[in-house]
Amino acid sequence: MTGEVDVNGITKVTAEDVSTGRSESLTLGLEHTLTPEQVEHMITDAETHSQEDEQLRNTLHTSYQLVIVTILHNFFLSKCFLDEVH
């Protein structure tokens, strides 16, 4: 894979499959970049929702822990049950 960025900010990427010799190229021009206003909006949006994001992250973490504890609990119960049967 090769890539280059010219002085105008245009990025050219080429990838070649060594085994087949087949290659594909992609050119990304300035239409694929964000304006300063878009970047500022994204930063402001991230800052505005950071508290909500943290709460969601904590909720998901707690949920994942509960799932793990439940799986382990069920595993050990089934193992104990099987040990008693044999």
Q: Which of 5, 31, 27 is nearest to 14 (CA)?
A: 27
- The edge-to-edge listing of strands for the beta sheet with 23-28 is 2-5, 11-16, 23-28
Q: Is 52 exposed, middle or buried (0-12, 13-18, 19+ CB in 10 A)?
A: exposed
Q: pLDDT (tens digit, 9 = 90+) per residue, 7-64?
A: 877 888 998 888 888 889 988 877 667 788 988 999 999 999 999 999 999 999 999 9
Q: pLDDT (tens digit, 9 = 90+) per residue, 60-70?
A: 999 999 999 99
What is the three-class DSSP state of 13? strand
- CB-based contact 2:14 (threshold 8 Å): yes
86: pLDDT strictly greater than 70: no
State the pTM of this model: 0.44
